Structure 1
Amino acid sequence: MSIWKTRCEAGAAGLLAVAAGLGVRVALGGSVAKYAGDALYAVLVYTLVVLVAPRIRPARAAVAATLVSWGVEFFQLTGLPARWSEESVVARLVLGSTFNAPDLLWYAVGAGACWAVHRGLSGGRGRMRAAREEK
């Protein structure tokens, strides 16, 4: 697949993740919407990782998306995102405001779902498969 096509698909998936995340919050509410939003946040981060590095392997993209999402969550412990969220809706959507440990699980769920879809779409290509084919 060409880099351009991969980037276009990642961009489209990112827009869908944003729309789904906002839609879930409006349609469902409560903890279901919150944790679905967390998973979709990781989906968005995953798509941004692929957008920046279109040749990245699905497993590496999933790890990167999980670590970035976790980094944002732990950044909330500083209190800065809460302060910024009071003044900006964008800051609230991007950085959140308060640390919540269960969010860490849901970020991993979202990144894992992306890994599975990405791996399936790429025909399961990866180092492990290539190594098996060489034997």
Structure 2
Amino acid sequence: MTAHGRRRSRPRTLSALAVVVGAGLALQTVRHLAGSDVAGTVLFAVAAVLLVAALLPRLGAAGAATLGAGIALAVEFAQLTPLPGLVVDRVPMTRLVLGSSFDVADTLALLAGGIVAWLLVRTLDGRSRRASAAPST
């Protein structure tokens, strides 16, 4: 149950997360195209929110969106320190999660991703509620 008495489907949330991560990885193949960086940043925030929603199903959509977007923003602001660079130097694949440099525009894209994810989690919650309310035969 979520904070509003709705039942969230963890498999549905994890499926949505898998689609978002797949889309983000697919974006890596066209990262030279205009807008791909912003799209990837939005998807990163959506993935963070969906992960929170799956791990903490009692949180409502707003709680999951707030915490997930907050985590994504914390990762972005961490780029103002040398720590992400040190980690990326040792494990290059972590660049996909930790990024490479701080960009104010990324903070706006992360906030937009949090809003998109909030709407998505609300939709997932609504479908779960309708599915559990349907009479079984």
TM range, smaller chain: 0.7 to 0.9
Cα RMSD of the aligned pairs, angstroms, is: 2.4
Specify which of 104, 108, 122 is matched with residue 107 of structure 2: 104
Structure 2: which 5+ residue stretches go unaligned? 128-137
The alignment status of 1:55 with 2:58, answered yes or no, reads yes
What is residue 19 of structure 1 aligned with on the other side? Answer: 22
What is residue 66 of structure 1 aligned with on the other side? Answer: 69
Secondary structure of 2:65's counterpart equals: helix
Change in 2 beyond 3 A, CA 1:97/1:56? same
CA contact under 8 A between 1:42 and 1:107: conserved in structure 2?
yes
- The higher-RCO structure (CA 8 Å, 6+ apart) is 2
Count of residues in Structure 1 that have an aligned counterpart in Structure 2: 124
Superposition misfits of 4+ residues, deviation over 4 angstroms = 1-5
Q: TM-score, normalised by structure 1?
A: 0.80
Q: Partner amino acid for 1:94?
A: V
Q: CA deviation at 1:83?
A: 2.3
CA contact under 8 A between 1:43 and 1:114: conserved in structure 2?
yes
Q: CA deviation at 1:123?
A: 3.4
CA contact under 8 A between 2:45 and 2:110: conserved in structure 1?
yes
Q: CA deviation at 1:118?
A: 2.0
Report Cα offsets for 1:30-81 as digits up to 9, x if no partner: 4411110000001110111011111211111111111111100111111111
Secondary structure of 1:78's counterpart equals: coil
CA contact under 8 A between 2:31 and 2:37: conserved in structure 1?
no
Distance 2:52 2:93 in 1: 20
Specify which of 60, 74, 81 is matched with residue 84 of structure 2: 81
Secondary structure of 1:122's counterpart equals: helix
Change in 2 beyond 3 A, CA 1:76/1:90? same
CA contact under 8 A between 2:9 and 2:125: conserved in structure 1?
no
Q: Partner amino acid for 1:7?
A: R
Structure 1: which 5+ residue stretches go unaligned? 125-135
After TM superposition, the structure 1 = structure 2 runs for residues 22-41 of structure 1, keeping only pairs within 5 Å, are: 22-27=25-30, 29-41=32-44
Q: TM-score, normalised by structure 2?
A: 0.79
